[in-house]
Structure 1
Amino acid sequence: MLKLAHTAQLSAGELSAARTLLEGAFKDFDLAGWENTLGGMHALVFEADDLVGHSSLVQRRLLHGDRVLNTGYVEGVAVHAGHRRRGIASALMAEVEALLGGYEVGALSASTAGRPLYEGRGWQQWRGPTSALTPSGIQRTEDDDGAVYVFPGRAPLDLDGELTADWRAGDVW
């Protein structure tokens, strides 16, 4: 069963199960990572009463050229190890992608393992430099170069240009 709901509509048990799933999927998943998945829409896949897949879409602002882009940012895409290769990740992405029409662009940071999924769904790798708008100004995020993907929407994009993320705790991308 697939469920689409805002963070505020999820029960404490569903939120706890989602956090546990994400902590199991990502070795470095921490409180800041968890908080970055909240405040938007979540797609959840259950098998019986067990949560086996999660993704969320949160609002962010990205700077590109002379524009501030209203961005739907995908967070926390994970499928329980025992349920992978069954189309669950594709179903999760289809749900969040359907919501991207409300944004100028979609964006996400992809793990090496996740890149084939995103590329197969039409996400495009950002080839240009990435940065973050930090409290001390714009700082390059070289470690994230090549890992950022965008889903073009209404805004024109130069994939070789600079892309700057708004500031937040934890991983900026």
Structure 2
Amino acid sequence: MPHTSAIPAGAELRVLHTFQLAPAELAEIRVLMDEAFEGDFSDEDFDHGLGGVHVLVNGSDGGLVAHGSVIMRRVSHGGRWYRVGYVEALGVTAPLQRRGLGGRVMAALEQVIERAYDFGALSASPEGAGLYRSRGWWPWPGRIEGIGPEGAVPFPDEEGSTYVWGTLPAREGTLGFDWRDGDVL
């Protein structure tokens, strides 16, 4: 099926902060994530996508067909801490996947990152990596770790699947992400 960047006819793209979302909208996002991730989206994963800016695409019937959010993370690199826009909960309803909706959501999220953060980061699944690479995101070539209560914890399994976007002072070294419950990245 050819890729297109068009939103389906009658669809609406909205950009909202978590505080602007009604409980019913949050519930609809949760249902979409369960569908898009085929049941492999935990309550902690959902929680990680809250507290930032959401991009929602509603179809002509008003139902949610795509979503992504960007939240703030603190990341240590090269001796300083950065304010990073971290992409979370990007998903498209199964019938509309691979038709450009993920790219439209990412374009809106990238605008937020560009204007509000030092750079962007995300953890890519093998299925999603092509979308991010096509948009200029690149896999971080160095070490990945979480900075937790006990200090730095290496995450070698995240190396190669952690992508960054934007301007960094150096494209090498270690990225140390702030700790959070569940999957740190």
Shorter-chain TM range is over 0.9
Q: Paired residue for 2:55, among 31, 38, 43?
A: 43
Letter in 2 for 1:82: P
**SS at structure 1 position matched to 2:24:** helix
**Equivalent residue runs for 1:7-86 within 5 Å:** 7-26=18-37, 27-47=39-59, 48-86=61-99
**SS at structure 2 position matched to 1:99:** helix
Give the equivalent residue in structure 1 for 2:3.
Answer: none
The Cα of 1:23 is off from its aligned counterpart by: 1.7
Q: What stretches of structure 2 of length at least 5 have no aligned partner? A: 1-11
The Cα of 1:67 is off from its aligned counterpart by: 1.3
Give the equivalent residue in structure 2 for 1:124.
Answer: 138
> 2: distance between equivalents of 1:59 and 1:68?
12
Residue 165 in 1 paired to residue 165 in 2? Answer: no
User: RMSD of the TM alignment (CA)?
Assistant: 1.0
**SS at structure 2 position matched to 1:21:** helix
Q: Paired residue for 1:97, among 107, 110, 119?
A: 110
**SS at structure 2 position matched to 1:149:** strand
Q: Paired residue for 1:134, among 143, 148, 157?
A: 148
TM-score (norm 1): 0.95
Moved more, 26-35 or 60-69: 26-35
TM-score (norm 2): 0.89
Moved more, 132-141 or 19-28: 19-28
Runs of 4+ in 1 over 6 A off after TM superposition: none
Count of aligned pairs: 171
The percentage of aligned residue pairs carrying the same residue is 41
> 2: distance between equivalents of 1:83 and 1:50?
13
> 1: distance between equivalents of 2:104 and 2:57?
9
